[in-house]
Amino acid sequence: MSATEIDYYELLEVERTADDKTIKSSYRKLAMRFHPDRNPGDAEAEAKFKAISEAYDCLKDPQKRAAYDRFGHAAFQQGGGGPQASDFGDIGDIFETIFGNAFGGGGGRARPRRGADMRYDMEISLDDAFHGKDTQIEVEVSVSCHTCQGTGAQPGTSKRGCNLCHGHGKVRAQQGLFVIEKPCPNCHGRGEVIEKPCTDCRGEGRVDEVQVLDVNIPPGVDNGTRIRLSGKGEAGPMGSPPGDLYIFLHVRKHSVFEREGTVLFTRVPISFTTAALGGSVEIPGMDGEPNVIDIPAGIQSGKQLRKRGAGMPVLQGRGRGDMVVEIAVETPTRLSARQKELLREFKETETGEECPESRSFFDKIKSVWTDLTD
């Protein structure tokens, strides 16, 4: 879903005449419903969340809302009937062009750009996912230059105002009925020029550095769980705020258990005598505690038995899921002479009532055969 395809007011479920308080209230309700943390792995919910966030970002701002009411999505898209977004340094310039000083426009410096977000993929064991884990990771990331403190200028030197834009960070040009403002090509929208760039960062204000970061993995995480480390992404240019680091978890396969949400599945082979007479098996849980599973007499292969509360912890919640044990009756392949003798004796005493499903099947076969020969 793209917010550019749906009316912003429709996305936020409000009337076009709604006041700011109504718009904000509706946005908060929808954001809570579709937030990615509440809908892990749900791509549709994530797309909806981004769409309503985009809509609210526009309608909460008087200038943006006025431009949207006048031009619709064309106010923010190239090729529409309103101002072209590609003709401006950033979206804020559109409103300075449309409204001028009526909304305080007039060409300030370009706003600092926040650093880029980063992604880190981490593989963990099912045991780590069960108990949680405190660990450390090493990431190479751009950080604010220690030498110039992110200014980009050599220590002891300063920046000077740009001669081309006179410190505004923007230059203007007439285009049709509009006055177009673009980032200054000389200072790149900063309004200042570095005369003596820092030798360590070459005027960028940031350098690459390997950082060791502490990571807390809470109990109950699953494949695709995302952990956010705020402010641990790429440093912004010229001392701008850094982005965030997102850690995506991948849980390795376990030798005994398969997982589905908070439920742990395992397949347990039992002897045919245990299946016939009944008994019990003991399965250690992920917490190390034994789980005794009672086997009812006459159980068949494929039957599933459930142990409540022996599964995975609920992420950021209380309690645990269940353990589901699937029974597989194993036919013996290595028998002693005495065991074979006992089985022959058992076979001689069979009446057909011992295995009703087998008897029912062969009765049906006989019935079909009789119908074909008549």
Helix spans in 173-300 (H): 272-277
Res 168 pLDDT > 50: yes
Is residue 138 located within the same domain as residue 228? yes
Q: Quick one: 131 and 215 in the same domain?
A: yes
pLDDT value of position 176? 62
* Average pLDDT value for residue range 102-117: 58
Is residue 115 included in any domain, yes or no?
A: yes
d(CA 69, CA 65): 6
- For the stretch 255-314, pLDDT in tens is 999 999 999 999 999 999 999 999 999 999 999 999 999 999 999 999 999 999 999 999
Out of 252, 278, 293, a domain closes at: 252
Same domain, 265 and 232: no
58 is in an annotated binding site: no
pLDDT at 175: 67
Please state whether 75 falls in left (phi above 0), alpha (psi between -120 and 50) or beta: alpha
140 shares its domain with 242: yes
Q: Which domain holds residue 124?
A: 110-157+196-252
CATH number at residue 243: 2.60.260.20
Length of the chain: 374
* Number of domain units in the chain: 2
13 within a domain of the structure (yes/no): no
At 134, is the secondary structure helix, strand, or coil? strand
Question: Is position 187 annotated in a ligand binding site?
Answer: yes
Q: Is residue 280 part of a domain?
A: yes
pLDDT, one tens digit per residue, over 309-340 is: 999 999 988 899 999 999 999 999 899 999 99
Percent of the chain predicted with pLDDT > 70: 84
Distances from the Cα of 328 to the Cα of 49, 114, 125, 340, angstroms: 45, 57, 26, 22
| In a shared domain, residues 287 and 303 | yes
DSSP state, 61?
S
Of 218, 234, 252, which residue constitutes the final position of a domain?
A: 252
Label residue 77 by pLDDT band (50, 70, 90): low
Is residue 207 located within the same domain as residue 301? no
Looking at the domain assignment, is residue 23 inside a domain?
A: no
| pTM for this entry | 0.59
What are the beta bridge partners of residue 69?
none
Q: Which helix (H) or strand (E) holds 192?
A: strand 192-194
Residue 30 host element (H or E): helix 20-34
Predicted confidence at residue 137, as pLDDT, reads 95
**Would you say residue 1 lies in a domain?**
no
Angle (nearest 5°) at CA 343 between 340 and 349: 150
Q: Annotation-wise, does 198 bind a ligand?
A: yes
Distance CA 70, CA 98 (A): 10
- Bigger pLDDT: 129 vs 178: 129
pLDDT band (50, 70, 90) for residue 96: very low
Which of 252, 281, 296 represents a domain boundary (last residue)?
A: 252
Higher-confidence residue of 360 and 96: namely 360
Q: Give per-residue pLDDT as tens, 127-152.
A: 999 999 999 999 998 898 888 888 88
Residues 331 and 225 grouped into a single domain: no
Hunting for tokens 């410190």 — which residue is that?
167
Please report the pLDDT score of residue 78 as a whole number. 45
